[in-house]
Chains A and B, each alone.
Chain A
């Protein structure tokens, strides 16, 4: 059969039934859980006397709440300690593999899935976290779900879902030096709006996306939900297959060749039919920063903050300025910063740390700025240390931490204080997101964070390369 998208193919291959509601029952090939959204699901399982149907298809790690500095147990935060213990007990009782606090496989759930080769093309995947679409960079249908749905997956390894439309987003042309995957996705969200993906799955393609490494593709897919799309995927190709070769959960030898041929077979047909298309020229993208309280409120670093009446949602812009206190018309590069954060499931992989280190090398963090680097996983940290990136960061005045979500959502001790302004490689600039109800977050690429850290204000990374 031709004319099918990857979404159609993977959806059909995992369809169990059409439910009485008209929803489709979809088999979930891989379920990932973490400490924050699963405890209530396990409590419901116990209350309702349910068993885990496929315990070997769920893997657990700890990321959201773990401290990234002192990790002696019990944690100083009693609530964090309790939360981790609930997960440790539940995974033991239900025979689920846990990459816990002391595991060499611990890390942010969306970093370790791909790193271990658990995430593979042509799979369906679910996780109780909205950035689950990160895994869709492999041509995986990866759904962010809530706690009650986690219970559904634990109990039945399936979800009740509605099929969506598919929008093809093509980025063509060459990204010049200093323009990163983060700038691509921030620009897409800025153009289509934070609610623009409603009702759609996104398929990212075009030669600029084809040319990206898997780590760059993960950054793009990671922020699909910030554009309102539940899932945003990229078709698997040679880059995907080669990334997976030799990873711990990827089959070796002849089975690898059979796997690769299945993976390639799920890519959208050349004549696939899309419900909508959007095109973006790579040359139009510049280093991008946000100025407001959602990821779509973004501009190029060479620009000035817009006046409310110049943007699509003037009321939203006024509300944003009310919170940030920034003045419309200010040049982006004139915004000072207090905190610099390199980390999060969006941008904490080895290539992200290398890009930030390239800017930090031989420079020093501005005296008004406190700066931290939080690698995405134990393994990313190990590899970064092997090539001396930790020394580069430390010598430049950055804190070098252990793996976790950290200041992306500030559930651990890493938080903004008061009105601080943060240059952050994370994914959300929502009010209060980084732990202070009055704090302010500016999203950008890791290299741009490093440039801001050494400058004390927003800066154009191209001047540092």
Chain B
């Protein structure tokens, strides 16, 4: 099996964890003080840490603290999730905690890009559908969800709903191209050609052969 085969993300199945609220920013997902760490190794300890614990370290009510959601792999969110700071620490923290897919009403652009770059699918469903899904999971946290990126479908208790995911992101995930460095580097000759014709890279000197 090639590295690309190992990278393919076609399906995510498992239990879900809902975090309600629009406009949840990346400072709330990982506060800035944890950005002082020079590796991502410990990020899995930090998702929503200031909402999960008070100043004395006492747990507060939060889905990420509830034993019934431990081991969940699909995060359910509302609109504009991941807005604010570009810190990749946010999707890294969720991934390292155990999240393997996020289903929401909408996502902030940089967060969506960072998630794709680490192979974490983010897909959208309409507002009423996410409310229904959150309700189902809150009622019965043991219920299993199955996200099929190939078919753009989320199945829960035999009931299936269509999900939206940009074609480019879907292809990157199911074909294993989300780890983009190798794909980009394969074009090095073309990259140098383009660089050679960009005026500001040549100090705005007239190009040889041009008048």
Give A262 to B180 CA distance when docked, in angstroms: 31
- Which among A25, A37, A313, A435 is the interface contact of B184 at CB below 8 angstroms? A25
Chain B residues whose C-beta falls within 8 Å of the C-beta of A230 in the assembled complex: 109-110
Chain B residues whose C-beta falls within 8 Å of the C-beta of A19 in the assembled complex: 177, 180, 183-184
B175 touches A21 (CB 8 A): yes
* A30, closest chain B residue (CB): B200
Give A159 to B188 CA distance when docked, in angstroms: 13
A160 touches B180 (CB 8 A): yes
- Is B161 located at the chain interface by the 8 A CB criterion? no
Chain A contact patch, size range:
35 or more
Give A226 to B80 CA distance when docked, in angstroms: 11
CB distance from B36 to the nearest CB of A (A): 4
* B183, closest chain A residue (CB): A19
Chain B residues whose C-beta falls within 8 Å of the C-beta of A411 in the assembled complex: 32-33, 35-36
Give A229 to B200 CA distance when docked, in angstroms: 26
- Which among A155, A160, A294 is the interface contact of B25 at CB below 8 angstroms? A294
Chain B residues whose C-beta falls within 8 Å of the C-beta of A22 in the assembled complex: 167-168, 171
Give A120 to B199 CA distance when docked, in angstroms: 12
Which of A17, A48, A123: most chain B CB closer than 10 A? A17
CB distance from B29 to the nearest CB of A (A): 11
Chain B residues whose C-beta falls within 8 Å of the C-beta of A120 in the assembled complex: 200
B171 touches A20 (CB 8 A): yes
* Chain B residues bordering chain A, tally (CB within 8 A): 61
B33-87 contacts to A, CB under 8 A, are 33, 35-40, 50, 55, 79-80, 83-87
CB distance from B194 to the nearest CB of A (A): 5
- Is A375 located at the chain interface by the 8 A CB criterion? no
* A158, closest chain B residue (CB): B184
* A418, closest chain B residue (CB): B55
A80 touches B36 (CB 8 A): yes
- Is A91 located at the chain interface by the 8 A CB criterion? no
B81-114 contacts to A, CB under 8 A, are 83-88, 91, 106, 108-110, 113-114
B200 touches A123 (CB 8 A): yes
With A120-B200, A129-B86 known to touch, is A410 a contact of B187 (CB < 8 Å)? no
Give A23 to B86 CA distance when docked, in angstroms: 20
CB distance from A345 to the nearest CB of B (A): 12
A190-227 contacts to B, CB under 8 A, are 194-195, 198, 225-226
With A37-B88, A80-B36, A411-B36 known to touch, is A316 a contact of B109 (CB < 8 Å)? no
- Is A139 located at the chain interface by the 8 A CB criterion? no
B170-196 contacts to A, CB under 8 A, are 171-172, 175, 177, 180-181, 183-185, 187-188, 190-191, 194-195
Which secondary structure dominates where chain A touches chain B?
loop
CB distance from A94 to the nearest CB of B (A): 15
- Which among B22, B166, B177, B190 is the interface contact of A316 at CB below 8 angstroms? B22
- Which among B21, B86, B190, B191 is the interface contact of A128 at CB below 8 angstroms? B86
Chain A residues whose C-beta falls within 8 Å of the C-beta of B85 in the assembled complex: 129-130, 409, 428
* A150, closest chain B residue (CB): B88
B21 touches A316 (CB 8 A): yes
- Is B31 located at the chain interface by the 8 A CB criterion? yes
Q: List 26 A-B contacts (CB under 8 A).
A: A14-B194, A19-B183, A20-B175, A25-B187, A25-B191, A29-B198, A29-B201, A40-B40, A57-B201, A79-B36, A82-B38, A122-B199, A123-B200, A144-B110, A149-B117, A156-B188, A158-B191, A198-B106, A225-B108, A226-B83, A228-B109, A255-B203, A262-B204, A428-B85, A430-B27, A438-B55
Known pairs A130-B110, A145-B86 / 14 extra A-B pairs, C-beta < 8 Å: A17-B190, A20-B177, A20-B183, A37-B35, A37-B87, A40-B39, A40-B88, A80-B36, A146-B91, A162-B166, A195-B108, A228-B83, A315-B22, A431-B50
A residues near B, CB below 8 A? 13-17, 19-23, 25, 27, 29, 36-37, 39-40, 43, 48, 50, 53-54, 57, 64-65, 77, 79-80, 82-83, 86, 120, 122-123, 128-130, 132, 144-149, 151-152, 155-160, 162, 194-195, 198, 225-226, 228-230, 251, 255-256, 258-259, 262, 294, 313, 315-316, 319, 409-411, 428, 430-433, 435, 437-438
